Structure 1
Amino acid sequence: MKNLLFLFLSLSILLSCTNQKPVNKYDLSISQHKLKVQINQAKHLVSVEDHFIFQSAKAGVSLSFLIHKNAQLQQVEFAGQKVDYQLNEQFAPQTFGAKLIENMEDEEDYKNAAELKINLPAPVKTGEIFLKYTLTATDSVEKAAFSHEYLAYQVNGFVGEKGVFLSPSYYWYAEAPGSQPQFDLDVTIPENLYIVTQGKLIGDSVSDGLRQIIWKVEYPTDGIHLVGSHYEIQQAKYKDIDIYTYFFPETQELAPSYLQACQRYLAMYEKMIGPYPFSKFAVVENFFPTGYGMPSYTLLGSTIIRLPFIIYTSLGHEITHNWWGNSVYVDYDRGN
């Protein structure tokens, strides 16, 4: 039994949804993002203001980050002052900083990325950058497919009437490879939508037809997804852990079963592994096929959620990832 448990936990580490390397091998890192986001569904538009803090191993007069190749930059500032910049849409991942890709499979992770080079007035090792920009998110969710071999056609960015899905691989915020930043996220959306991500919900208010949702991620993480749709929310508790279902109206009858199953799994795995590492766990229904596990929530397509055996199989697997893969990361270079 102990050998089987060890094998199960080992596999759980390797099967995490997130696949970026958590150990920063590069000269530059980002420790904190403060993101203010507005969503326009009709125009498939994302408007972003991003204050982020960087650290560099070497003092320099230029910094290079990754951002979406179609980002329309309106403002770039360092320490409150406008600075020059270049956006290189044709950059090569193989030559960005240290080598980004180790085999051809990884190159797909950078198909949406461009290099944003920012020129500073003097050499520095740390400071704050401010970016203001817009981008569109129009990946086709109609072609999405999900299986163990083929993950949702890799939809990385979509904003439309069905909802919102922005993954780190869409580079909708500035990234320094290998970083594990914390996030403050302030999102404005139509009032009939809800936005979900990892971390803790700090605020949810409605005014003049718009909803403002504030999330805070107080732990280092290797990327953040933004997920939203026309949800109805049900809630339960296990000890001090908030458990949520973000389901569509037609799926609400399944919510109590999922909430109860989450309580059982949390109780079981805390006995086996140790204290649950986050303040919440949410089961979130997606408007295209997915079976993803992110820190403190899982994102499951509607078809998957309705399968009667999911509560007894895959749900427990996704909850386990909150210890192995989304809390304890893999050190790909040195091992754990």
Structure 2
Amino acid sequence: MRALHRLAVACTLCCGSALAAPHYTITARLALASGTLDAAARIVLPAGETVALRMDGAHRIESMQLDGRPLSAARDGGQWRIELAPATRDRQLELRWQIRAQAPDSAARHRDTLTAFAPQIGEAGSFLPAGGAWYPLPHDSAGPLLHRYALNVDLPATQRALAPGDLTQDTVRDGRRSQRFEARQDGEGADLMAGPWQQTTRALRARDGRTLTLVTLFHPELAAEAGGYLDAAAQALTQFEARFGDYPYSRFSIASSPTPTGFGMAGLTYLGIDVLRLPFIRHTSLPHEIAHNWWGNGVHLAPDSGNWSEGLTTFVADYAQREAQGDDAARTLRLDWLRGLSALAPAAHDSLADFGGRTHDASQAIGYHKAALVFLMLRDTLGSATFDRALRTFWSTHRHRRAGWDDLRLAFEQASGRDLRRFFAEWVEGRGLAEPRLDAVRPGADSVTLTLAQPAPPHLPGLPLHLRDPDSGALRIETLTVDRPQQSFTLPLKGCAELAIDPDFRTARRLRPGEAPPILREATLDGTLALTVLDGGDARVGAAADALVGDWLDTPPPRLAADAAPGRTARMVIGRSADLDRWLARHGLPARPRDGDVVAWAVRSAAGGTLALVAARDADALTGARRALPHYGQQGWVVIDGGRASARGQWPAQTQWTRVCALSAR
């Protein structure tokens, strides 16, 4: 797995409202030594429907008044709930509360940070996500409300704070720093971060003539990385503005976290220190997070519609970067996506409409990669110009508002003049992958009639069919519209041709057996996965293997004895290099492909099961690979030396060609 290819939008509060946005003025004082935050808020609530304020029930409310009169809160399922009946005029709520929090855990796994929203306060860093309700979040009968705020933060002068919004004050006096952040557009909340950061800034001229401020807030050990990140941020912002429309904020900040965090909020991204050190992050995860300022943090997610923003952002950022590298790089990424999706059992294929956010690798494969392939299929069908015109319309219509898959469909229908209801019904509301196959071939005089079988979902508006001249290699591509579970197509053909269905992997389909050599993720995502540890009697090897599996896999797999032969199910085998070499020879499998401290690679057994094999020099080497190795699941093989990948690669896909001939060739 590439590090942070599954970065989550931090606070996807998925409901809307017809009410005017509540406005907050919050004052927060951080005391790092005691791990406390003392806060006060004045909240102007607009007239209208019933409003409920919800805050984490672990916090201590010290006082609360509504329009100057005392008010009480009730506990409800671990939350404080403040109910306000409908009113004909605006109201003002004032309250004070205190938060006690643990310091951030630098040993936490990235997977744990995706759903952990408890506040963290400490010298190395502080993080209070809005999604954890560190302050009273507004709701109405439909759900959470977008709102605006001014946030005043008081903290030690050696620290800096960060929150979505304009930084309108930054002063130091008597050993304390005072900063004010103002969110002037409707948004999903005040995510508060702080750290012992060194700040580097750069000005960037926006498309509309504004001067934008780019900022890095890095721990001292990352100071040398600031310039490269600012360069990459400027490039990505300029490209996305030209493609989608004006950047919606005045700043973009990149802040480092002491935990393996990867979040994107309005106008900023919050990434783990170790992640920021990786040389490719500024060219991969950073553009992804910047694109979220249009999709997910600029246009917010609508209620009960699914999280479309991750798939769209993956397509316009991650995939666009591969396209810029060339056809081979883009094809490799598409194949990576299909490998992961094909490894999932059919029962694990939820619909895109049901995807809310990444919590494990399987959900990432659906919500990020399948969704990106669906957007690719849509672009291939409508054309790039129409696709981008639809996104610009979607942006201008829904900027700082909530929108869902239906709103996207309407934007694409408006831009293309086509009815896309069936496409969205089958590929967004539906489940599973396409599985097109050639059922029959009937030669004609100067033609050939092909019968394709395509079980549900059968609607493929642009299935690519490649016909290659067996002598010259000249290629012809036919684009087929598949509407039924079984359908015939007559194609002109003189002589013979070699035929392949979608050999460039442009369709969200299940790979055919033998079509692509395995990658590590095919085993780790397989629901049949079992684990074998070859510890050679060394308990330290067994403990290191267990720790690696805990970091790598969503759930621990069942154990399988070493003498059990590889079969049709998936298997992970971890052990010392010498022990694993003997295991391979015993079961007639190819030898280890590389040498190194740790070598991990994927192969298929003779019976068809995918094997993820990890050979380590010793227990210390296996422990040293624990953080890096889970990030390389898309590789066929990877070598870890000194805790970092020194080499990696994939074995090429094998296109399955079928020879067809017209009667004139016989």
Relative to the length of structure 1, the TM-score reads: 0.80
What displacement does 1:171 show?
1.5
Is it true that 1:73 corresponds to 2:64 in the alignment? no
More strand by share: 1
Determine if the alignment matches structure 1 residue 127 to structure 2 residue 91: yes
1:321 to 292, 301, 306: 292
Following superposition, the deviation at residue 194 of structure 1 comes to 0.1
2:194 aligned partner, one-letter code: G
In the TM superposition, what are the counterparts of 1:201-280 in structure 2 within 5 Å?
A: 201-239=167-205, 240-280=211-251
The residue type paired with residue 47 of structure 1 is D
Give the C-alpha shift of residue 87 in structure 1: 2.9
> Within 5 A, what are the aligned runs for 1:15-164?
16-24=9-17, 31-55=22-46, 57-58=48-49, 64-79=52-67, 81-88=68-75, 91-92=76-77, 113-117=79-83, 126-138=90-102, 141-142=105-106, 144-147=108-111, 151-152=113-114, 154-164=116-126
Please say if residues 75 and 133 of structure 1, whose CA atoms lie closer than 8 Å, have aligned partners that are also in contact: yes
- CA distance, structure 2, for counterparts of residue 32 and residue 68 of structure 1: 20
Change beyond 3 A, Cα 1:38–1:193: same
Tell me the CA shift for residue 82 of structure 1: 3.0
Instruction: Give the distance between the partners of 1:137 and 1:115, measured in 2 at CA.
Output: 21
Q: CA deviation at 1:86?
A: 3.2
Seen in structure 2, the aligned counterparts of structure 1 residues 194 and 139 have a Cα distance that, compared at 3 Å, is closer
**Could you say which residue in structure 2 is the equivalent of 1:181?**
147
Secondary structure class of the residue paired with 2:90: strand
Conservation of the 8 A alpha-carbon contact between 2:35 and 2:103: no
Say if 1:29 and 1:176, in contact at 8 Å, map to a contact too. Answer: no
Q: Over residues 82-141 of structure 1, what are the superposed CA-to-partner deviations in whole Å (9 max), with x where a residue is unaligned?
A: 3231331xx24xxxxxxxxxxxxxxxxxx6x322346x8x96553110001112122752
Larger radius of gyration: 2
| Inter-partner Cα distance in structure 1 for 2:194 and 2:175 | 16
What is the distance in 2 between the residues matched to 1:134 and 1:282?
28
Task: Please report how far the alpha carbon of residue 15 of structure 1 lies from its aligned counterpart in structure 2 after TM superposition.
Answer: 6.0
**Aligned residues of 2:165 and 2:181 also touching (Cα < 8 A):** yes
CA distance in 2, matches of 1:215, 1:314: 25
Distance in 2 of aligned mates of 1:304 and 1:259: 16
After superposition, the Cα gap between the structure-2 partners of 1:270 and 1:29, relative to the gap in structure 1 and judged at 3 Å, is closer
Over residues 53-79 of structure 1, what are the superposed CA-to-partner deviations in whole Å (9 max), with x where a residue is unaligned?
113534x7xx64211212222221122
Deviations 1:136-184 (A, max 9, x none): 122752452215xx54461431112222100113212111232111110
| Contact 1:289/1:303 (<8 A) preserved | yes
Alignment partners' CA distance in 2, 1:50 and 1:84: 14
Residue 20 of structure 1 aligns with an amino acid whose one-letter code is L
Counterpart for residue 170 of structure 1: 132
In the alignment, what sits opposite 1:105? none
Instruction: Give the structure 2 partner of residue 200 of structure 1.
Output: 166
Letter aligned with residue 32 of structure 2 = Q
Distance in 1 (CA, whole Å) between partners of 2:39 and 2:303 is 32
Counterpart contact for 2:104–2:259, Cα < 8 Å: no
SS in 1 for 2:237: helix
2:223 counterpart letter in structure 1: Q
In structure 1, what residue type is equivalent to 2:271?
L
Any idea what the Cα deviations from partners look like across 1:8-45, whole Å, max 9, x if unmatched? xxxx9x964432114138xx886100001111111111
Letter in 2 for 1:129: L
Do 2:113 and 2:261's aligned partners in 1 also have CA atoms closer than 8 Å? yes
- Classify the secondary structure of the residue corresponding to 1:186: strand
Checking the alignment, whether the CA contact within 8 Å between 2:213 and 2:252 is kept in structure 1 is yes
2-side partners of 1:200 and 1:123: how far apart?
A: 31
Q: Distance in 2 between matches of 1:135 and 1:248?
A: 25
More helix by percentage: 2
SS in 1 for 2:240: helix
Alignment partner of 1:35: what SS? Answer: strand
Q: Give yes or no for contact 2:47–2:91 (8 Å, CA) kept in 1.
A: no
The Cα of 1:279 is off from its aligned counterpart by 0.5
Contact 1:16 1:324 in 2 (8 A): no
Contact 1:66 1:176 in 2 (8 A): yes
Amino acid at match of 1:138: Q
| Counterpart secondary structure, 1:157 | coil
Aligned-pair distance for 1:313? 1.0
For 1:198 and 1:70, the matched residues in 2 are separated by 24
Letter in 1 for 2:258: F
CA shift, 1:276, in A, is 0.9
CA shift at 1:237, angstroms? Answer: 1.6
Name the counterpart of 1:95.
none
The number of aligned residues is 294
Alpha-carbon spacing, 1:16–1:123, altered in 2? closer, same or farther (3 Å) = closer
Q: Aligned partners of 1:152, 1:216: CA distance in 2, in Å?
A: 26
Residues 207-236 of structure 1, C-alpha deviation per residue, up to 9 Å, x if partnerless?
A: 111111111110100112100000001111
Write the letter of the residue equivalent to 1:76: M
Equivalent residues of 1:238, 1:266 under 8 A apart: no
CA–CA distance in 2 between the matches of 1:151 and 1:29? 33
CA gap of 1:161–1:151, structure 2 versus 1, over 3 A, is closer
Q: How many Å apart are 1:332 and its aligned residue?
A: 3.3
Q: Go from structure 1 to structure 2 and tell me whether the alpha carbon gap of 1:123 and 1:291 turns closer, same or farther (over 3 Å shift).
A: closer
Q: CA RMSD in A?
A: 2.5
1:288 aligns with 2:259: yes
Unpaired runs of 5+ residues, structure 1, are 1-11, 93-110
Which residue number corresponds to residue 106 of structure 1?
none
Report the Cα distance in structure 2 between the residues aligned to 1:314 and 1:86, rounded to whole angstroms: 41
| TM-score (norm. length: structure 2) | 0.42
Q: Residue type matched to 1:306 in 2?
A: R
Kept in 1: contact 2:106–2:260 (CA 8 A): no
Separation in structure 2 between the aligned mates of residue 169 and residue 156 of structure 1, nearest angstrom: 9
